[in-house]
Copies of this chain bind each other. A is one copy, B any other.
Amino acid sequence: MPELRKDPIVGRWIIISTERAKRPTDFVAKPEAKRGGFCPFCPGNEDKTPPEIMAYRDNGTQPNTTGWRMRVVSNKFPALMTEGDLNRAGDGIYDKMGGIGAHEVIIETPDHELTLSTMPLSGVINVLYAYKERLIDLKRDQRLRYVMIFKNHGEAAGASLEHPHSQLIALPIVPKRVREELFGSKNYFEYKERCLFCDIIRQEIEREIRMIEETDYFIAISPFAPRFPFETWIMPKIHKAAFENLSDNELSSLAVILQNTLKRIDKILNFPAYNFVIHSAPFHDSQSESYHYHIEIMPKLTKVAGFEWGTGFYINPMPPELAAKYLREEGLVAETQPLAI
């Protein structure tokens, strides 16, 4: 059974996962695993994953067989368990609880060779719809407080399988980073009676200097104080706290700007590894006036990792105004831009 543990100094919860091997040799760096071999996410291998939780399928096809266009399964090595009790408990000065939650994999497409930036736009829309459907379903579980949806693309970003996929982790706690965002934006709202994120969006649209792309519903920007070179945020112009509240129009529009942004990053940085994370309100706060969902994309550029990872302090050699200029002006190949939605 995995365990959630709280650092008593800064209040950060972490998961001690027990479903993976733990001899020291398991952690010793090995040569990169050979790619191109067996892939458990490819069509025909549906029995090599845990049973599917949901899928978008061709008419008449059966669960856990071929014929799917998008498929969600439990992670085979889950960081958290669905069954069990929370059992919040102290241990002297420490706090812990059972590792209850969910850890799922969104297999984005049957095509092993595609990515979110190269698949048809309809594929990206499928993926975003799946995120929303999973959020709505998991929200019914009273034990859960937060769902973190993220993607590790490329081995340097933590992906252990090449086949395009994203992940979600449903948690009985709200992660520290999200609590900090909630706290900061709530303080701002109480003082100004305006949403901080809406103010950021207004200022960025007006100043233009960090703007990468603006569409009907969204902007893509280099944030004012980015941790990493070419860090990019996608923010909705219409205030909404939680991702699960997106309308169909908004989801389709988000798919366009997300794919465009990933295309820009691929072009400027030569197909880098990256992480993206959907920052959405906790379940109990999904109508918040002060919180505002958004997506943070962080290209994983190996030359700048390490120090930041160790210290929690960030030195970024790329001014966001310059990053935005590259991504805006040279980032998009015009003929592949999927504008029609």
Contact = CB atoms under 8 A, between A and B. Distances in A.
Stoichiometry, copies per complex = 2
Contacts of A21: 317
A207 interface: yes
B316 A309 contact: no
The dominant DSSP class at the A interface is mixed
Interface in A302-321: 302-320
A325 to B, nearest CB: 11
A184 interface: yes
Given A22-B318, A93-B203, A94-B203, 16 more contacts: A9-B196, A15-B314, A16-B316, A17-B317, A24-B326, A27-B229, A27-B272, A29-B272, A92-B203, A93-B199, A150-B310, A157-B309, A273-B306, A275-B310, A300-B309, A305-B305
B275 A307 contact: yes
B177 A224 contact: no
A227 B17 CA distance: 11
Nearest to A30: B303
Given A184-B8, A184-B11, A200 B29 contact: no
Query: Which 10 residue pairs spanning A and B have beta carbons closest together?
Result: A158-B306, A275-B310, A177-B312, A5-B225, A7-B225, A14-B314, A27-B301, A10-B180, A20-B317, A158-B307
A227 B311 CA distance: 12
Nearest to A321: B16
Given A22-B322, A181-B10, A225-B5, A158 B92 contact: no
Interface of A: 5-22, 24, 26-29, 79, 91-94, 148, 150, 152, 156-159, 169, 175-177, 180-181, 184-185, 188, 196-197, 199-200, 203, 207, 223-227, 229-230, 268-270, 272-273, 275-277, 296, 298-320, 322, 326
